[in-house]
Amino acid sequence: MGALLCFGLASAPASGPVRAQESAPAASSGFGARLQALIARLTGRGLPAGLFSTNGRIEAEQVLVAAKLAGRVLAVLVVEGQTVETGQVVARMDTSELEAQLAGAQAQVRRAEKAIAEAEAAIAQRESEHTLAEQEHERASKLKESGYGTAQALDLRQSQLNVAVAALKAANASLDEAHAAADAARAEVARVQSQIDDSTLKAPRRGRVEYKLVQSGEVVAAGAPIVTLLDLSDVYMTVFVPARVAGRLAMGDEARIILDPAPDYVVPATVSFVATGAQFTPKSVETADEREKLMFRVKLRIAPELLRQYEDRVKTGVRGVAYVRTDPAAAWPEALTAKLPQ
């Protein structure tokens, strides 16, 4: 500014210096006022006692919708910028191989159920044989006691009874084995069906699609992210404050946010997080000056109900100035009264 004024004095006509000298104070005072306003905005100086300001940016919690299993992406059903609801289908994976495995597992279930039916029929047969063997043994025993039967005949009936008992036990064991095989087959069906269900990727919560990371037809690894969502109910500004300010903040304290693209509006917020450790730690904190270099991360959260009203205007990465109160009794000045677009 001074160089421009000097240039004007050197090249101006005789009457020029008077005009230049008259206009210089006004220009200098206007620039000084803007400079002071900028300094006050950046440093927080000029604020009422009990208030502190700092710079920050708007952020939102990211949610990754990822493929649980490796495979081919059949279709991605959303576009960037789209708002999706909880449970809405975001993408589908190719399940042709899983469906073949499911058909095989279902066939195993049917085979196991048939084995159960055969085992039950075998048990009925063995029970009948066991009953007959018991009756024959009882008759042979009575005949021997009355003197009309021989010990050899009784021993034969006893042997037949023992064989019938063993056969019945084997049939019961076969039935247990068939039930176990059926349970294993049903478990395999449930496992494969679960993988098929997981191949339909759904939004875990309501949000806005930030990035579409893959295209239809691509092959992805297990756990590969398909879509990135922004949780529009959890939006906050991250700021850094010195230790003297962080030590006076409490969860739930009121805050104010003024965004650079919308300086006419004042967004209310609350302190939702204060870091327990310093983010920038100097080599030594023995002196007061060094302790002032300790900076703590603070999150100022915007109320979800407020975000829902202005959901279409919520954007992450926007810079702005945040104001917090180091004194709970301090009143917000009129310029920081909450003001939102109608």
The phi and psi torsions of 93 (rounded to 5 degrees) equal -100, 155
Question: Residue 283: is its pLDDT beyond 80?
Answer: no
Q: What is the pLDDT of residues 217-243, one digit of tens each?
A: 999 999 999 999 999 889 999 999 988
- Crossing angle of the two packed helices 16-43 and 2-11, in degrees rounded to 10: 170
pTM exceeding 0.75: no
Strands (E), the chain: 51-66, 71-76, 83-84, 89-93, 200-202, 207-212, 219-220, 225-242, 254-259, 262-274, 295-301, 319-325
Quick one: average pLDDT of 100-115?
Answer: 93
DSSP 327: S
Residue linked to tokens 């003001």: 339
- Do residues 10 and 290 make contact, with C-beta atoms less than 8 angstroms apart? no
pLDDT of amino acid 140: 80
pLDDT digits (tens, 9 = 90+) for 153-178: 878 888 888 888 888 888 888 888 88
The per-residue pLDDT for range 49-100, each reduced to its tens digit, is 889 999 999 999 999 999 999 999 999 999 999 999 999 999 999 999 999 9
Summary count for the chain: helices (H), strands (E)? 7, 12
Coil, helix or strand at residue 63: strand
pLDDT score, position 46 = 63
Question: Domain 44-61+231-336 belongs to what topology?
Answer: Elongation Factor Tu (Ef-tu); domain 3 (2.40.30)
- Kindly state the DSSP code that residue 103 receives in the 8-state scheme: H
Domain ranges in the chain are 44-61+231-336, 62-94+200-226, 96-198
Q: With beta carbons less than 8 A apart as the criterion, state whether 273 and 299 touch.
A: yes
Q: Per-residue b/e over 255-275, b at no fewer than 16 CB within 10 Å?
A: bbbbbeeeeeebbbbebbebe
Give tens-digit pLDDT for 109-121.
999 999 888 888 8
Provide the CATH topology of domain 62-94+200-226: OB fold (Dihydrolipoamide Acetyltransferase, E2P) (2.40.50)
pLDDT band at 201 (very low <50, low <70, confident <90, very high): very high
